[in-house]
Each structure stands twice: as structure tokens, then as C-alpha cells.
Amino acid sequence: MLTRIAGGDIVDPVNGRSGKGDLWIEDETIVTAPADRAPDLTLDASGCVVMAGAIDIHSHIGGGNVNTARLLLPEFHKAHAPRPGATPLARLGWTTHETGRLYAQMGFTTVVEPAMSPAAALHTHLELADIPIIDKATLAILGNDDFLLSMIRDEASAGMVEDYVAWTVASSRALGVKVINAGAAASFKENVRSFSFDDEVPFYGVSSRCIVKTLQAAVGALGIPHPLHVHCNNLGIPGAPDTAAETMAAAQGLPLHLAHLQFYSYGTEGRRGFSSAAARMAERVNATPEITVDVGQVMFGQTVTVSSDVLRQFSARAQARPKKSVIVDGVADGGGVVPFDYRADFFGSLQWAIGLELFLLIDDPWRVFFTTDHPNGAPFTAYPEIFSLLMSREARAKVMEGLSKRALALSTLPGLTREYTLEDIAVMTRAAPAKLLGLKDRGHLGVGALADVAVYRKGEDIAAMFRRAAFVLKNGALVVEDGTVTDWRWGKALRLKPEPDKAMVKRLEAWHQQRYGLPLDALVFPDSAIGREEPFGEVECNR
């Protein structure tokens, strides 16, 4: 099947391609224009922008906590289903089916679920396998688990830690490793109620810093392309910028990714002790080239916070709107589901402004990633509006008219004039995520790339342009036309496959039997358990 996307404005920063032209696709791959063959399918992209399919590096789309949120809040979906678009809750794409449809219609073709508990990997992959069209991937959570904390306490060799991380990544079919408030979930089980970077986990005497550094080293040594993905301590607390800055300093020249920095950029100035520290955080990011961050932009309206930072979620229960929540002390980690309604009041206005400040003050679009930490800051369906805010200072000014003036006075946002270009958007949502995750086959439109392509019809309304792609191709197949899914297919979960060390497997088998009274087989699963043909796609480690 030969496809020609004709006459679009191509935006492909990786290959330095910019301007009007054709894009040719043979089956699943982008190819050079053939000399003497007519296309089987021509898509008229005149008046359109042509980009690679977008990649979301951090969006909670499946797994135990996400599903618990569905169970906790059936009324959200109930409000949505019969009248899409007509209620504030209509932006929450709840089912696996809707998640795939809504992402695809916006031109996203790969999405990473960033918080998979290894103990619930099968559940997570079953959900991801039911998300149509897009490819998925997961990050496995480590850093609150007894096996790792014990190894660190007992000064196990770096090689043993690497063997354990490799086994976890391989058995849970992950694309990388995430550490969430390192040590805090284990400490909370010992009734600790606050936990900072240099605090030690009771019983182990191991600090959060030490856990992060140990995992960072293991991830690097194993050649896992994505740097350790860190959810820092003290999320959402005024003064958290110090914690985030300490964590960045601890990177010590080696790659480290900090998630949803917006939630750590709350200063303590002003009468209410709540202000924007975004400028300071952005300056720190700009000065620390080994650091990448994603933003976790807040948008106004009802959402639900879903996090494995059980300590943070436990303390957030009092702010639950509606007033109900679930807190889980899991094996190794934990989780909390707390519904929340971001209002355009003093606090909400500042949170909204802080995220945009980070986007606009961090200079390098290759190091700041586009997320709302779905659904924590806002549902992913708010992305088109955020693109509009980044690309148009007028759009920002219009929203600011209705916000708390006192809040905005404590932020630099009103004075920021930067506007993202389409090239910046293509870097931030395509090229940079592919590079960060080690997905060499996507994120660009070069010859040989996987034909994941998004075509947007240009118009005055930037949000409308990004909400309903004119065409989307996934693996070369046309799946979206005029903003509507026209062809259903199943994507894959992208995973690494490091070879587990046999001695480590033996050790884990004995440990699991002794500590949990269960064989290791109770935790692992064959690919066939997913119930789909070829549910996984393999990504190479750097070696």
C-alpha cells in the first residue's frame, strides 16, 4: 500500500524539513518519493500541517489506581456518556476504548503510563491492551520495595541491584523505571507523615536520596534509554522547590527526569504563603543540562488525582471534592485516588499560571515535556487548549482576565511574551519524547521511520486544530479522518527486554516464597495472558 500525503506544510525538526511538500508512506514506513509509481491512496493535506504522531511521556491511562478511580467515581462517566461535550465532566475519557479514541483524534499515537506497580503489571497490561489504536508503554515503579531497600541497607553490589532492576523491567514488560516519593510509601506504613529527600526510611536507615541515586545508577548501567523518572518528595507543598532543587543537584551530571514540576514550584511568598517559584525552578532547569522535566499543567474544572504517592494522597484526602477517596497500602508501593475540582480561585489561578511559566521560561523545548500528569492536573483532553495557550499570548491574556489578580501578581506569567512555534510543538511533543524514551522509529518523518503521522488543518482556532486532526495514520494505516476515528486497530505496549540474571531469579524465587508464602509464578505472566496477538513491541536497550 503506497500512500501520499500531498501538499502539506511539513514540520519535522529532526530531519530539518520545514515547508510545503509531500510525504510518502509504503505500508508501515515512511519512504522517499517513488520515481515511477502512483499512490494507492492520496490524502490532500493542502492548508494542513504535517507532523509525526505525538508521544505523551506521562499520562495515567491504565492500571490499578486508574481503575480504582473509575470505581470510585462512576458518576463522572455517567455524566459524560449520554451528553458528551455538554458537561464539565465531559472531558474525562474514562474507558480504555475512549482513551484510545480521544488520543488518536488529537494526533497522539504513543502514550506512556508512567506508574505501573510491578505487582500489578498483568492488570495494567490487560487494560492497556484494551486501549485501541495507539501504542502504549509503562514505567515500572521501584524505590519503596523491601527487596531494593534491603539491598541498599545491606550494601549489595551495584551488579546485584542492576540484576534486580533488569528482572523487574523484563518481567513487568516496562519501558523504564520510575521512583515515586522514594521511601515515603514504606515510611508511611511505619506511620511517618512527612518525608524529605534526606530523611531515612524507618527500619532500613536508607535515605530517599540514596534510593534515587542507586536507581539512577542502575538505569544508566543497564542502558535503559529513558533516564530514571523521578516523582520527588513533598509534592504540592509550599517550599517543595527546595526539594526539587536538591533532587536536580543530586543528578550530578547524569540524566534524570523530574515529573510534573508544576506541583513542586510553589513558593511561600505573599500573605497566604503561596506564590510562584516557577521562575526559580526554570532557571535551575536551564542551568542543569542533564535534567529533563515534564510540567503537569493544571487546567480548571473537575478531575481526579491518581497517584502512587500514597503519603501525599493520604494528606490530600481532606480536600477531596466530591468527599470520597481511596488510599491503598500496596505490596511495595501504594496509591491514592482523590477527586479534585480546580477552581479559578487564588490557589487554582496560581497553579495554572505556574505551569505556563515553566513552559515559557524553560528555554529548551527538548528538555521540557508536555503533560498535565493526566488526570492529576487536568484530563488529557485539555491538551488542545494548552497548545493554544502556549502558542498565543492573546489566548493567555484572555484567560487571565477572569483569574485572581492577587494570584497573578505573585507570578511572572502576565509579563511573558514568548509564543511557541509549530516547530517548538513538534520538538516538545514528538521529537524530544522519542529521544527521551529511546524510540528511534518514531517522533520524526525521516525515511525509514514508522508511519505514525498527524495532519492538522490550519486555522485561527489553535485548540480546534489540535482537537480534531484532519488525518492520523498509525503504522501507515489511516485511522482518523476529519477528527473522527474511522478504522479501529490494536496498538502494542512497547517494552524493554533485558535478560534477567539466573542467580537473581533464583534468589527472588526463594525470597518470594519465604516472605509472601507464594511462588514467584504467582507474580509473573506469559504474553498469552493478555489475550491479543502480539501485544508487545520490543525496544532495544543502549549498549
Partner 1 sequence: MAVAWVDGRNVPVADAADKAAELLSASFCPVFSLDTDVHGTRAAIALARRVGAAYDQLDGAATARETAQVTDKGGLFIAPGEARRRADLIVLVGALPAAHHDLIAELAATRPDLGRRGERRFFLIGTEAKAPAGVKAVRLSCGEGLEAALAALRALLAGRRTALPLRNFEAFAGALAEARFAVFTFCGQSAGTLALAMLQGLIADINRSRRASALHLPASGNGWGSTLASAWTTGFPLRAGFSGAGEADFDPWRFDVARMLAEGEADLHLVVAGNPKRIATPPAAMPLIVLAGGARPVAGAAVAIAVGAPGVDHDAVVYSSRTGTLAAVRAERPGVLPSAAAVLRMIAERLPQSEAPPC
**Residues at the site binding partner 1, with contacts judged by CB under 8 A:** 62, 64, 66-68, 70-74, 77-78, 81-82, 94-98, 119-120, 122-123, 126-127, 130, 132, 146, 188-191, 202-203, 314, 324-331, 337, 488, 515-518, 522-526, 528-529, 531
Indicate the residue among 105 and 292 with the shorter CB distance to partner 1. Answer: 105
Indicate the residue among 17 and 123 with the shorter CB distance to partner 1. Answer: 123
Indicate the residue among 234 and 325 with the shorter CB distance to partner 1. Answer: 325
- Cβ-defined contacts of 16-23 (< 8 Å, 24+): 17/445, 18/423, 23/50, 23/445, 23/453
Least distance from C-beta 99 to partner 1, angstroms?
Answer: 9
Indicate the residue among 67 and 276 with the shorter CB distance to partner 1. Answer: 67
Indicate the residue among 462 and 523 with the shorter CB distance to partner 1. Answer: 523
Please confirm whether the linkage preceding 379 is cis (ω < 30° from 0).
no
Helix (H) or strand (E) holding 101: helix 96-105
Whether the Cβ atoms of residue 240 and residue 264 lie closer than 8 Å to each other: yes
Least distance from C-beta 375 to partner 1, angstroms?
Answer: 13
Indicate the residue among 128 and 395 with the shorter CB distance to partner 1. Answer: 128
Q: If you ran DSSP here, which 8-state letter would residue 534 be given?
A: S
3-state secondary structure of 108: strand
Q: Which of 20, 56, 99 is nearest to 452 (CA)?
A: 56
Neighbouring residues of 41: CB distance < 8 A, sequence distance ≥ 6: 1, 2, 3, 4, 478
Least distance from C-beta 319 to partner 1, angstroms?
Answer: 14
Q: Beta 108-116 vs 135-141: how paired, if at all?
A: parallel
Least distance from C-beta 132 to partner 1, angstroms?
Answer: 8
Least distance from C-beta 80 to partner 1, angstroms?
Answer: 8
Whether the Cβ atoms of residue 179 and residue 161 lie closer than 8 Å to each other: no
Grid cell, residue 112, equals 506512556
Least distance from C-beta 62 to partner 1, angstroms?
Answer: 7
Indicate the residue among 43 and 116 with the shorter CB distance to partner 1. Answer: 116
Burial of 273 (0-12, 13-18, 19+ CB in 10 A): exposed
Q: If you ran DSSP here, which 8-state letter would residue 205 be given?
A: T
Indicate the residue among 16 and 517 with the shorter CB distance to partner 1. Answer: 517
Least distance from C-beta 467 to partner 1, angstroms?
Answer: 21
Whether the Cβ atoms of residue 73 and residue 31 lie closer than 8 Å to each other: no
Least distance from C-beta 488 to partner 1, angstroms?
Answer: 7
The single residue listed with the C-alpha cell 488542545 is: 384
Beta bridge partners of 336: 307, 327
Least distance from C-beta 185 to partner 1, angstroms?
Answer: 10
Grid cell, residue 183, equals 521511601
One-character DSSP codes across 241-293: HHHHHHHHHTTTTS-EEE--GGGG-EE--TTTT-EE-HHHHHHHHHT-TTEEE
Least distance from C-beta 200 to partner 1, angstroms?
Answer: 14
Cα–Cα distance between 443 and 404 in angstroms, integer? 38
Indicate the residue among 249 and 518 with the shorter CB distance to partner 1. Answer: 518
Least distance from C-beta 331 to partner 1, angstroms?
Answer: 4
**Residue 107, Ramachandran bin (φ over 0: left; ψ between -120 and 50: alpha; else beta):** left
Indicate the residue among 38 and 71 with the shorter CB distance to partner 1. Answer: 71
Phi and psi angles of residue 362, each rounded to the nearest 5 degrees, phi first: -80, 120
Indicate the residue among 337 and 422 with the shorter CB distance to partner 1. Answer: 337
Grid cell, residue 153, equals 541497607
Whether the Cβ atoms of residue 215 and residue 165 lie closer than 8 Å to each other: yes
